[in-house]
Structure 1
Amino acid sequence: MADRDRRWAKEELLTYAYILLYIALSSGQIFFNKWVLSSKEINFPYPLGLTLLHMIFSSVLCFMLTKVLKIFKVDEGMTLDVYITSVIPIGAMFAMTLWLGNTAYLYISVAFAQMLKAIMPVAVFILGVLAGLEVMSCRMLLIMSVISFGVLVASYGEMEISWIGVVYQMGGVVGEALRLIFMEILVKRKGLKLNPISLMYYVSPCSALCLLIPWIFLEKPKMDEQGTWSFKPLVLTLNSLCTFALNLSVFLVISHTSALTIRVAGVVKDWVVVLFSALLFADTKLTLINLFGYAIAIAGVAAYNNHKLRKEAYRVSPEEPAQSVPLVAASTSTNETRI
């Protein structure tokens, strides 16, 4: 009995440690990206280049961990048809999300960017209805209205709005919504389920290629104009490593808990980012209207997550392996470099 209680306590402690690790890495990665892109000390205002480095690093590390060291196993079932029709669109949308989302940090504060991201469920739902994956209902219409109203109030409370930054952030939101729709199609219509490590293995190279092409035309000429590239290997390697660690933490949390836990942790992380960014960055000035509007939006997001998880509960079989989770269940409302 004592041994069983001890094991249970150990598992419980380990679970909380994974959740805290996810929250710390997820919020820390956002702050790290903002610092790298905006800091005069680093002087690397190239969101495309930074995201490209993340994807190349992730691709190489995934290959090493799965094929060379064989620490993780890549889920089977991937075919050329599925890769072309599903993985490539997911990779392209993921690249678009990260590119535009990171670019927004050059124009707007981290806190305001996070508030705008709360509109994500609205974009996902609208696109889901258009794709035939969602059904319009009075309840969902009410939830979408609450989220939209909250984001509008939060935006109204923003003291300095850069509309260029807003456009970039909204573009990132649309890209993320499309990515989630493609992932849901992959699960529902293709019947393929991958754990986050397997998904990283397949998607990262595709995203890297999608980022490489615009980088060559948009950012490489600017970097060449400087004569010598402003490139700090240690900082950028640590930044990329944190990105990979974040993806790994998602895998650990989902493997040891559930999709509900990762979504709740995501909401906690959102508040951590908003509040701590006011302490860390000079361009973040929170107002009561900001926080009030964001609280309304987060309440709507919580209602949306609850609604989605109830629907997913009916679809998931009890015999299904815990580590082979649906791709949509593995996704939260965060848009930092994470698959």
Structure 2
Amino acid sequence: MVQNDAAAAVKKDMFMQGAITYGYITLWIALSAMVILINKYILGYTSFVFPISLTMTHMAFCAGLAALLIKLGVVSSIQMDNATYYQNVVPIAALFSGTLWLGNAAYLYLSISFIQMIKAQMPVAVFAVGTMLGTERYSNIFMSCLLVVSVGVAIASYGEIEFNMIGFLCQAGSILTESSRLCLIQILLQSRGIKLNPVTTLYYIAPACFACLCLPWAFIELPVLLNTSDWEVPWFWLIASMISAFALNMSVFLLIGRSSALTMNVAGVVKDWLLIMLSVMLYHSIVTKLQLAGYGLSFAGVTWYNYLKMKQATPVSTQPVRVDEEKQGLLETGRESSKP
């Protein structure tokens, strides 16, 4: 009888832990999709067509809240000297600001569905940049997988009815800066033993991102803001965007400790397909059969690539240790940390 009660208690605890984990995953997917959908609405369907300004408001809001959480002792910070900050953090922040700016700018020209298809190129860019910088080791089988991804994205691009070269180049630039940022994180932060959670990442990186964006903002958007009056700030949507972006980072903070890199990758795939569907339903994006075929091919390539990477990173004899390392890597990079 006692053993039965103990077994029932264990099963109940396992069920509750599983329910909490899947709840966090659902929250992460929902918030990630919300940030993207709101940003698309602001830049594509209101008169506020200023992606740099939008990005700067996100950085200012997230930096302020992160500083408040650290000052209140909710999250502990780390000590970092000026030399480490300027040599290691600022270059990463500069690339991150480019990722956010160019990614948001793409919403002016492209549909969410097509942008998600282009984002399938991210593993290709990370592998290429990582190979050049020494963070990735070249492999013919990995290259074959990524070639399939590239062909799929090319087919999806060919099938895009409302293709816009400026938007495509913006998104491609966002992918390039993001892949460079992820590689630099390994070189400049992880190799030096600097570990940042999502809150401390925002605390250190968001102000630097804001500063980096000031220069292009002063030359590109500030003159338009000052010399034209046919725009207005969509305050409700702007505030909703800032809050959801910060909440997204907190959901990452909650989820990382309860899931593996494989779980996050699977959740990311679910989110991408969900966004394509929502883009069609909410914004009436046109997705052709050729695009779906191309994205399906790139999806297969990415899935196989992720499987090979996970298999390589988690040998059976050392799996518990490697899973912890994967979690730490996700914690420091934050797959969707305020990312468009």
State whether TM-score is above 0.5.
yes
2:65 equivalent to 1:64 = no
Deviations 1:242-277 (A, max 9, x none): 000111111111121122211111111011111210
Partners in 2 of 1:195 and 1:309 — Cα distance? 22
> Alpha-carbon deviation of 1:233?
3.0
SS at match of 1:326: helix
Any conservation in 2 of the 1:259–1:329 contact (CA below 8 Å)?
no
What's 1:53 paired with? 57
Partners in 2 of 1:124 and 1:277 — Cα distance? 26
Partner letter of residue 296 of structure 1? L
What's 1:25 paired with? 31
What's 2:288 paired with? 287
| Unaligned ranges ≥5, structure 1 | none
Any conservation in 2 of the 1:195–1:324 contact (CA below 8 Å)?
no
Once the two structures are superposed, the pairs formed by residues 154-233 of structure 1 within 5 Å of their partners are 154-227=156-229, 230-233=232-235
Instruction: Please say which of residues 114-123 and 48-57 is displaced more in the overlay.
Output: 114-123
Change (3 A) 1:117 1:304: same
Partners in 1 of 2:311 and 2:332 — Cα distance? 11
Partners in 1 of 2:292 and 2:323 — Cα distance? 40
**What is the TM-score of this pair, normalised by structure 2?**
0.90
Change (3 A) 1:319 1:116: closer
Change (3 A) 1:80 1:305: farther
What's 1:120 paired with? 122
2:43 equivalent to 1:37 = yes
> Alpha-carbon deviation of 1:230?
1.6
Instruction: Please say which of residues 96-105 and 232-241 is displaced more in the overlay.
Output: 232-241
**What is the TM-score of this pair, normalised by structure 1?**
0.91
Any conservation in 1 of the 2:261–2:326 contact (CA below 8 Å)?
no
Task: Say which structure is richer in helix.
Answer: 2
> Alpha-carbon deviation of 1:285?
0.3
Partner letter of residue 44 of structure 2? S
> Alpha-carbon deviation of 1:318?
2.8
Any conservation in 2 of the 1:196–1:247 contact (CA below 8 Å)?
yes
> Alpha-carbon deviation of 1:85?
2.1
Change (3 A) 1:320 1:35: closer
Partners in 2 of 1:77 and 1:326 — Cα distance? 20
Change (3 A) 1:321 1:299: closer
Q: How many residues align?
A: 332
SS at match of 2:196: coil
Change (3 A) 1:310 1:319: closer
SS at match of 1:286: coil
2:304 equivalent to 1:318 = no
Partner letter of residue 181 of structure 1? C
Change (3 A) 1:83 1:312: farther
Any conservation in 2 of the 1:194–1:327 contact (CA below 8 Å)?
no
> Alpha-carbon deviation of 1:237?
1.4
Change (3 A) 1:131 1:323: closer
2:18 equivalent to 1:12 = yes
Instruction: Please say which of residues 144-153 and 185-194 is displaced more in the overlay.
Output: 185-194
Deviations 1:218-255 (A, max 9, x none): 11111112248622333211210000011111111112
Partners in 2 of 1:308 and 1:82 — Cα distance? 31
Any conservation in 2 of the 1:250–1:262 contact (CA below 8 Å)?
no
Any conservation in 1 of the 2:155–2:294 contact (CA below 8 Å)?
yes
> Alpha-carbon deviation of 1:187?
4.6
Instruction: Please say which of residues 297-306 and 125-134 is displaced more in the overlay.
Output: 297-306
Partners in 2 of 1:161 and 1:228 — Cα distance? 27
| Unaligned ranges ≥5, structure 2 | 1-5
Partner letter of residue 60 of structure 1? G
Partner letter of residue 255 of structure 2? V
Change (3 A) 1:321 1:137: closer
Superposed structure 1 runs of 4+ greater than 4 Å apart: 314-317, 319-324, 327-331
> Alpha-carbon deviation of 1:28?
1.5
SS at match of 2:160: coil
Partners in 1 of 2:291 and 2:242 — Cα distance? 31
Any conservation in 2 of the 1:93–1:178 contact (CA below 8 Å)?
yes
Partners in 2 of 1:61 and 1:243 — Cα distance? 11
